[in-house]
Amino acid sequence: MMYKLYLYYKDIRISKWNTIGDDWEEVYNEYSKDLIVKGFRGGVNMKSQIKTSKLFLDLLHERKVNCEKIKASDLIIAMSCYFLLVKFKEIDTDNFLFLKKKKNSQG
């Protein structure tokens, strides 16, 4: 089953993604887990990872508010930062949603 994942940060939709499921833990494992592990192995503590992720999302939020173009690579990084913050309970799980995609009726 295909879903659309909508991410909201400071009441603005920052991105939407196609996913094959509606489990945020799966998305976290795919996009954020390696980032966190590499950070810890590199000596970056949890507080610094949280701060850096918030700074990146704040920058992206500002660009969205100003209707500036955002590269796809920045949105992938944003997804990693976003679910890092969800995992560390800095973003509530009410700030994103999965919607089931309709099947194409023409086959």
The backbone torsions φ and ψ at residue 69, rounded to the nearest 5 degrees and listed phi first, read: -70, 140
pLDDT at residue number 105: 47
pLDDT in tens, 9-55: 999 998 888 887 788 888 888 888 888 899 899 999 999 999 999 99
Buried b (16+ CB within 10 A) or exposed e, 13-22: ebbebebeee
Across the beta sheet with 3-9, what order do the strands follow? 12-19, 3-9, 96-100
pTM: 0.82
Give the domain ranges of the chain.
3-100
Going by C-alpha positions, the residue among 79, 17, 29, 27 that lies closest to residue 53 is 79
pLDDT in tens, 60-94: 999 999 999 999 999 888 988 988 999 899 988 88
